[in-house]
Amino acid sequence: MATADAIFSIRETRMGIIADVGTLQRLPHIIGHGRFRELALTGRDFTAPEALQMGLVTRICDDRPTLYEEAGKLASQIAACPPLTVQGTKEVILYSRDNGIEAGLQYVAQKNAAALPSEDLIEAVSAFMEKRKPVFKGK
C-alpha cells in the first residue's frame, strides 16, 4: 500500500553504492527482471501509480489517514484467520520463492500434514458447518 504522492527508487545506485539489504535479490521476483534492471541501473524515482502497475504495491490511498485505515482493515482480515495457518502460509511463500515449485509443493504437503490435527482446523470446519464466525486459538 502507498499514498498517492509516494515516490520510490533504488536510490543506492545514484549514491554510488550497491543496494545491499535484499533489494537486488527480492525485487526482480516481484516486478520482473526487465523493469527491475532499469530501476536498479538508473536509480530513477518512480511514482505510486507506476508501483501499482508493476505490482510493487497492491493499492493506492489518497492520503495517510486513509492508508492507515486501509492497512488496519487488511490487518484485521489477516488476524481473523487461524494464526498458525497465516504463519505457515508466510513460511511456504518464502520457502517456495527461494527453493522452487517442486520443493515448495513438498514443503506445503509436510506443513499441511502436520496441521491436520490442529484445534484451529477443527474450529474452522465446525464454524463453517454451523454458519458462525470461528474463534481461533493458535493451537
| Residue-wise pLDDT tens digits, 13-32 | 999 999 998 899 999 999 99
Neighbours of 25 (CB within 10 A): 11
Q: What is d(CA 37, CA 79) in angstroms, rounded to the nearest whole number?
A: 36
Break the chain into its structural domains and give their ranges.
Answer: 2-78, 81-130
**Residue 31 neighbours by CB under 8 Å, 6+ apart:** 39, 54, 55, 56
- Reported CATH class of domain 81-130: mainly alpha
Confidence of residue 122 (pLDDT cuts 50, 70, 90): confident
| Residue-wise pLDDT tens digits, 128-139 | 899 999 888 888
**CATH 3.90.226.10 given to domain 2-78:** yes
SS3 61: strand
